[in-house]
Chain A
Amino acid sequence: MASSHDADTTGITRRKSLAALAGAGALGLAGCAQSSDGGDGSNASDGSDGGSDSLSGSINIAGSSTVFPLMSAVAEDFAADHPDVSIDVSSTGSGGGFSNFFCVGETDFNNASRPIKEEEKQLCEENDVEWIELIAATDALTVVVNPNVDWIDSLTVDELSQIWQEDPARTWDEVRDEFPNEEIERYGAADTSGTYDYFIENIMGEAGHTDDYQATEQDNTIAQGVTGSEYAIGYFGFAYYFQNPDQLKALAIDNGNGPVEPSLETAASGKYQPLSRSLYTYPSMSSLGEEHVAEFARYFVSQTTNEDLVAGDVGYVPATEETQESQMQKLEDAIEETQG
């Protein structure tokens, strides 16, 4: 009895569910169909605000941690305007980006806080990766000390070199007599970083970079170290100091013409020498052949003069109109060449 009752129940439910299925099927036939090329139906509404936008594809960007905030700010705006273009930005260090990703053809752009090196050019050539160099902005490499110290306001290039060269000064009074007889604590960029390369080239030259320091890609770590000790010194890109001016004390640098403090103005006017430097991004030629990459590169160059974004949000010096024009010309020539 019980079993026949069960069977009865299931029979009816199956019939009911079949009816429900038939209903659903009818609805499907009634016009709720979609084509598989249309992509994800739930996202279809996103396309509406793109208007005539037909760009789609992916853009892979890696490289310098110094350029990372600028590049991701530009990418954010571009992604908002072009929802079908997916952009990813990685912070790998200039050298790490060139050797691990860009020159083996894995990324479309590589950011760098110094020009591409000879051995990187070679690696790119071996893998048939062609590229052009675009100037992104100007940075003022900033040397910082603890905000509580009053015995130091500026350093000459030579003194800076004594602190950071391969065989460095051990205590502060070895650098300048009036400085205290305390050991120097150093916090600086790791050797995969373009900041490291730039610092060596323009301050120490042949004398090389000391190994006796805390090396990191994270500006935050440098700042933490310097705020932790009155006898610490560190260097990094301008952006961190620009956003946290009270947390650290930036030293003025004396290049023979009196001490100059790092700021957007001194870097733009070229007075802050030798530590104001250009930041770069390197698009690969084959990627520029794709329309969405080319469009992104154009957008990037056009944004390099945007003061709100480059100076206000990120803390670098925007490019001048002339630089932008010449960069745009270079880019257009390259795009012309690849797209024919």
Chain B
Amino acid sequence: MKRLDALWALLAGIAAWQALVMITGAPHFILPSPLRVASTAIKSYEIILSNAWVTALEVVLGLVLGTALGVATAIHLTTSALARRIMLPMLVFTQAVPVFALAPILTLWFGYGIGSKVIMAVLIIYFPVTSAFHDGLSRTPPALLDLAKTMGATPRQSLWRLRIPHALPSLGTGLRLAAVYAPIGAVIGEWVGASKGLGYLMLLANGRAKIDLMFAALITLAIMTVALHWAIGKLAARLDAYAQG
């Protein structure tokens, strides 16, 4: 039923787009019709796919590295009072700096390749993953930790066998946010300076007044983001189901 609803919403969106083109009479270099965009997408599928692959790689690498760093930081914050005292205020402070403003610097430091885009994606998802997972790790019921202590478990054993499984739904929440933010980070990085990727292709097409190609790239990016959100949502749902029995 949900899938059917999504299909109807998609068809309605395309119909509204077509109606807007017909009503306004906008030229195709301002607002191309859905049919024209589809035709361009088919004709230019090789260039779109080759750039989509680069963006997908940046997003997935950013997600994996950002999640790994976020999880490691959250565990460190949970186990070390010193880390909490020093790192937590720093983490909050870093949120005052707009990550997008760092994109030119990252491009300067790490070049036009995928490295600077991956780091951009890592930076943008690091805080939500760290924050959500640390919050989950901190909310283990104290009575459960007391029980573990009376059973002779060390803090490390409690961490791995109680706290982390208990916090998996919170990690899922962080991952859901990361799935939304990671493509934004990668594309912003590509806009600032890149030679490949969907963000680069959109800027290139825009500069050459190939608005239909720009739209095709944009729609490809949207499809990739929805697919990523769906996959991460499935993973997060599995984490929820595991932790809640």
* Same assembly: no
B interface residues, Cβ below 8 angstroms from A? none
